[in-house]
Amino acid sequence: MVTYDFKEKTPMPIRTNLRGSALLNTPSLNKGAGFTREERSIFGLEGFLPYDVHTLEKQCDRAYNQLKRQPTPLLQHVFLASLRDQNTVLFYRLLQDHLKELLGIIYTPTAGEAVAQYSNLFRRPVGCYLSFPNRDGMRAQLEAHLQNINIVADVARHDETTAESIDLIVVTDGEAILGIGDYGVGGITISTSKSALYTLGAGINPNRILPVVLDVGTNNPILFASDLYMGWKRTRMRGKNYDDFVETFINHARDLFPNAVIHFEDFGLNNAYRLLEKYRNKFAMFNDDIQGTGAVTLAAIIAALKVSGGGALQDQRIVIYGAGSAGMGVADAIREGMEVQDKLGTADASQRFWAVDRNGLLLESMAPALRGNQVRYARPDDEIKTWALENPELPSMAQLLDVVRNVKPTILIGTSTATGAFTEEVVREMAKHVERPIIMPLSNPTSLCEVDPQDAITWTNGKALVATGSPFSPVKLPDGHEYHVAQTNNAIVYPSLAAGAILARANTISPRMLMAGVDGLSELSPALDDPSQALLPSLDNIRAVSVHVTAAVIRAAVKEENAKNELVIKIAEDKGEMSLEDYIKARMWDPVYRPLELVD
């Protein structure tokens, strides 16, 4: 695997005309105590700072100590947000140095609490707030953010993309925040947190990412009851008004930022699928809840099949417990994998899945009540007529144990947030019929996990291959050795998918590009060298992982003639002066202080 060390790169200087307090109050340029003696003299900073010059490393130590003194995860999140608003480089360097430890603070689960408390904790606006009552001024509002891009603070772009622009837009409407529900305008916290992970994971320049919240109201009575709620107090817009508002945003964003990837985050299930199907073939867009969760899960499955010798993807029988956006997104990703890898048709591939929710197995007779993509995975009612059910008095309500007993799945995936749903009876029943059961309790946080990995290992006599949505410590195998549990964290894959599309200037993020990213990630599985190791690489090495995965995504885009960046096309076809991997590394934004040059 290609290595990545930002300390080996020589940072290019930044040219700016800002001086004194204006410079100190610009987060993308501020170095705090890190300004050199020469910079302090040239930029009029003497008297604004204490005398001693501190390295970035020393500043990180101080910030980390301050962070650890915060008594709760929520206050640690608030501290990090404040640091981001003061010093961009220090914020990212601190997170980069402690990524595994702080990921749960900057994003899930703590970000969910921060969203719920957004209006109570508000200090400074970050990102773009587009409210339905102000819809007629939307273009001007987006243009104002374009004008705020400080191009003199971003001259490190070494090719034709040096013009003022946005590379990435992360947008939410706040309806389905991290599975905790509708939090309206507070959803901007998720957009900003997700944006930070793009920078940490794939080096996308934070100054060229625009977090957006579409404030279309809220159905949360708690927000209506709060005098401090800062969003539009009206029940959530639906129907044509909602669709027109989203369409207006898309049109203005594409006109003003024509090369930007648009990431949809935490939309409600129905809207998430509708918008994905409506726009995915029109421009480079991505829904992380559907496609990101699916991609990282599929990568773990492909690695598990290689480890176990479990056959092709098309040979699997897959039970998904939890038929929300995450579960159906996982099903879609695996199905599209079968279509790309095994050349199956959509209908044929869909027959490899059994989706179960709190009401039991999804059946065709439930169609009027099914949402989003659930209809595709509903089974014929006749299928269960011959099953021996736990509760024969309810023949249309086949529960998880019934499904596992009759389907004999090779893969069991949980996206239900139902703690302990994979009971000992369910797991042992699965293990009766498959040599190496693949068990993936993906629900977050740990308290909502469908099964403890240690139990899954114990109940299968050490044969299960396990990946989880939450981080778990290594568990004991029956022979006393340790088994390392992979965490299917979207952050290890979705930044690379966007980075590949951005660098290639892809027209769309196609199924083949997604599959290339999945394959690239699965190739880095530590379990391929040692079956006791995790099915996915660690976040500790995320930049190196991203170089490999981004390159795979770019090559797929070029191969299917889905790329517009002529320079990248040339490099991807091995006709350039550097390798594609070296080009990607050179283009990554790094959390380092760059020299400043004063200009008029």
Q: How many helices (H) and strands (E) does the chain have?
A: 24, 16
pTM above 0.85, yes or no: yes
Q: CA 549 → CA 219, 254, 294, 544, distances in Å?
A: 39, 26, 16, 9
In this structure, are residues 465 and 439 in contact, taking their beta carbons and an 8 Å threshold?
yes
CA dihedral of residues 70, 75, 76, 81 (deg, nearest 10): -130
Residues 6+ apart with CB under 8 A from 206: 28, 88, 92, 195, 196, 199, 589
CA distance 170 to 287: 10
Binding-site residues, please?
Answer: 265-266, 289, 444, 489
Binding-site residues for a divalent metal cation, please?
Answer: 265-266, 289
pLDDT value, residue 290: 85
Which mean pLDDT values do the consecutive 10-residue runs of the chain (600 residues) have?
Answer: 72 90 94 97 97 97 98 97 96 95 89 92 94 96 80 39 75 86 94 96 95 97 95 96 97 95 92 92 92 93 94 96 87 93 93 93 90 88 87 75 96 94 96 96 88 97 94 92 93 95 97 95 95 92 95 97 96 91 95 92
Which amino acid type is present at position 121?
L
pLDDT value, residue 11: 84
pLDDT value, residue 162: 44
Residue showing tokens 């195998």: 477
Binding-site residues for (S)-malate, please?
Answer: 444, 489
Told to judge if 194 belongs to the known catalytic residues of this protein, a careful annotator would answer yes
pLDDT value, residue 356: 95
Domains, the chain, ordered by start: 129-279 (3.40.50.10380), 291-297+312-485 (3.40.50.720), 492-587 (no CATH)
DSSP 55: -
**In what helix (H) or strand (E) does residue 553 lie, and over which residues does it extend?**
helix 542-559
4, 31, 92, 107: the active-site residue = 107
Strands (E), 168-231: 168-172, 209-215
Q: How many Cβ atoms are within 10 Å of 390's Cβ, its own excluded?
A: 14
CA distance 290 to 325: 6
> What number of residues does the chain have?
600
pLDDT value, residue 151: 44
DSSP 290: I
Q: What pairs with residue 483 in β-bridges?
A: 475
Instruction: Choose among 343, 182, 192: nearest CA to 263.
Output: 192
Residue 27 preceded by cis peptide, ω within 30: no
CA distance 422 to 124: 44
Q: How many Cβ atoms are within 10 Å of 493's Cβ, its own excluded?
A: 32
Which amino acid type is present at position 160?
E
pLDDT value, residue 96: 94
Q: CA 260 → CA 33, 55, 273, 292, distances in Å?
A: 35, 34, 21, 18
92, 194, 494, 585: the active-site residue = 194
pLDDT value, residue 112: 87
